């Protein structure tokens, strides 16, 4: 039997888009005492032209 070593990479900072129409970082959303979203990062890009 051989030994296996696990290597965990440290998380990198999320990429920040400069063209996003909407951007949220470390978003937390609560419904009363319930935390529905925990630390969400999201970029919403503009719609692509259909021409």
pLDDT of residue 8: 63
* 26: Cβ contacts below 8 Å, ≥ 6 apart: 39, 40, 41
Number of structural domains the chain divides into: 1
pLDDT band (50, 70, 90) for residue 11 = low
Residue 50 lies in a domain: no
Residue 36 lies in a domain: yes
User: Which range of residues forms the domain containing residue 25?
Assistant: 17-45
Residue 22 lies in a domain: yes
Q: For residue 18, what are the CA distances in angstroms to 7, 12, 25, 31?
A: 33, 18, 13, 31
Among candidate residues 29, 26, 19, the one with its CA nearest the CA of residue 42: 26
pLDDT of residue 19: 83
pLDDT in tens, 12-51: 655 665 688 999 999 999 999 999 999 999 999 888 887 7
């Amino acid at each position: 039997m051989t030994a296996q070593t696990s290597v965990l990479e440290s998380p990198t900072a999320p990429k920040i888009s400069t063209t996003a129409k909407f951007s949220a970082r470390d978003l937390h959303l609560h419904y009363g005492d319930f935390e529905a979203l925990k630390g969400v990062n999201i970029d919403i890009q503009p719609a692509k032209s259909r021409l």
